[in-house]
Amino acid sequence: MKLAPIVDEVVASHLDTIAADGMDIFLVSDSNYRGAVINATRLVNQIRVNHELGILETLLLGHSYIAAGLLTSLVKGNDRIVMTMECDGPARGVAVESNARGEIRGYLRANPIPIEGPVESFDLAPYIQGGTLSITRHLEMARTPFVGHVTIEYGNLAKDLANYFVVSEQLPTAVSLSIQFDREGRVSGAGGLFLQSMPGADRSAGGPLEDRVRELPSLGSLFANGDTPANVINTHLYDFGPEIIGTRSIEFSCHCNKEIYRDYIASLPEEELADIRENGPFPLKVTCHNCNTTYTYEKDEIEAIVSERP
């Protein structure tokens, strides 16, 4: 994977002045509720330049990366989570993967998202228009992955993700996803919150907690102004006795490399590989959809691959 440089000097300077990305995991209301708050400002700026995203695309894929980061609070060790959205609208959907180390990668199914006329609001529902949201947990100690699906009801990832946990796991859940843009369309802050009832918990505090989450200031705005996840938790959830129980790093990370795609090329049918060898085009370019890194192969490299086949 190659990280594209953030060449916008305003963005780069801003990122140098605010808190680092990261996530804090916490308990509130006598450990009856578990949650996480994530600052993902650098993450969203990095995926924007790597995937070459416009504002609308940054909003949808950025929300998806933030959500995937929050979901890592539910896994450990070598566990990983895949979140996919297949929708009926012009966005077509997203696919994002994260793991317990806080590594996140993924892509839009349509980039750019086809639209008619200028974007007039940040309401993504018109571009989603129903479909299916799926969560797959690949747990290290499990023989098979756990897969859950729900119908997209809102066209709003935060609301649909919360609905997923209510429908699929019967756990009351609140999700907030936030990206702050400046007047020039630059991302100045990005983050999210995940709050969920523990299994068998006393849910008497659920109503006040839900109200407090709705009343929270924009997390994107808070992180744009230098706030941290720990401070958000301790300040805005103070009345509920928050206890921070873990801190994790969050980063845009894809383990693709040129050798992996070399092996992929080598696995192509003999006729297809022979056609590439004879007709090119050269250099042959292969792009990873998860991080938008392009790997190139010259003719002599393709000939070497062909000669190594049995």
- pLDDT class of 310 with cuts at 50, 70, 90: confident
Selection from 23, 168, 179, 164 nearest residue 98 by Cα: 23
At 92 the pLDDT is 97
At 309 the pLDDT is 78
Asked if residue 192 lies in contact with residue 70, where contact means CB atoms within 8 angstroms, the answer is yes
At 304 the pLDDT is 94
Is the bond preceding residue 112 a cis peptide, omega within 30 degrees?
yes
- pLDDT class of 276 with cuts at 50, 70, 90: very high
- pLDDT class of 119 with cuts at 50, 70, 90: confident
Q: Residue by residue, what is the 3-state secondary structure of 66-82? A: HHHHHHHHHCCCCCEEE
pLDDT digits (tens, 9 = 90+) for 134-189: 999 999 888 899 999 999 999 999 999 999 999 999 999 999 999 999 999 999 99
pLDDT of 117 strictly over 80: no
- Look up residue 246 and give its amino acid: G
Q: d(Cα 60, Cα 107) in Å, to the nearest integer?
A: 10
Selection from 247, 246, 242, 193 nearest residue 220 by Cα: 193
pLDDT digits (tens, 9 = 90+) for 57-85: 999 999 999 999 999 999 999 999 999 99
Report, as an integer, the average pLDDT of 93-106. Answer: 97
The helix/strand count (H/E) of the chain reads as 11, 13
Q: d(Cα 193, Cα 224) in Å, to the nearest integer?
A: 15
Query: How crowded is residue 152: how many other Cβ atoms within 10 Å of its Cβ?
Result: 24
Asked if residue 69 lies in contact with residue 186, where contact means CB atoms within 8 angstroms, the answer is no
What predicted TM-score, i.e. pTM, was given to this entire model? 0.96
- pLDDT class of 232 with cuts at 50, 70, 90: very high
Entry field: residues in the chain: 310
Average pLDDT of the chain to the nearest whole number: 95
* Percentage of the chain modeled with pLDDT above 70: 100
At 217 the pLDDT is 95
pLDDT of 259 strictly over 90: yes
Q: What is the DSSP string of 98-129?
A: EETT-EEEEEESSSSPP-SS----S--HHHH-
At 121 the pLDDT is 85
- pLDDT class of 4 with cuts at 50, 70, 90: very high
Angle at 72 between CA 68 and CA 76, to 5 degrees: 155
- Provide CB contacts within 8 A for 197, sequence distance 6+: 32, 33, 171, 172, 173, 203, 206
At 54 the pLDDT is 95
Tell me if residue 295 falls in helix, strand or coil.
strand
pLDDT of 3 strictly over 80: yes
* Better-predicted residue by pLDDT, 12 or 308: 12
pLDDT digits (tens, 9 = 90+) for 85-97: 999 999 999 999 9
- pLDDT class of 202 with cuts at 50, 70, 90: confident
pLDDT of 116 strictly over 90: no
pLDDT of 120 strictly over 80: no
- pLDDT class of 207 with cuts at 50, 70, 90: confident
Provide the CA 246 distance to its chain's centre, in angstroms.
Answer: 20
- pLDDT class of 282 with cuts at 50, 70, 90: very high
Report, as an integer, the average pLDDT of 22-49. Answer: 97
Work out the burial of residue 299: count CB atoms within 10 Å of its CB; fewer than 13 is exposed, 13-18 middle, 19 or more buried: middle
Domains of the chain with bracketed CATH = 9-252 (3.55.30.10), 258-308 (3.90.1280.10)
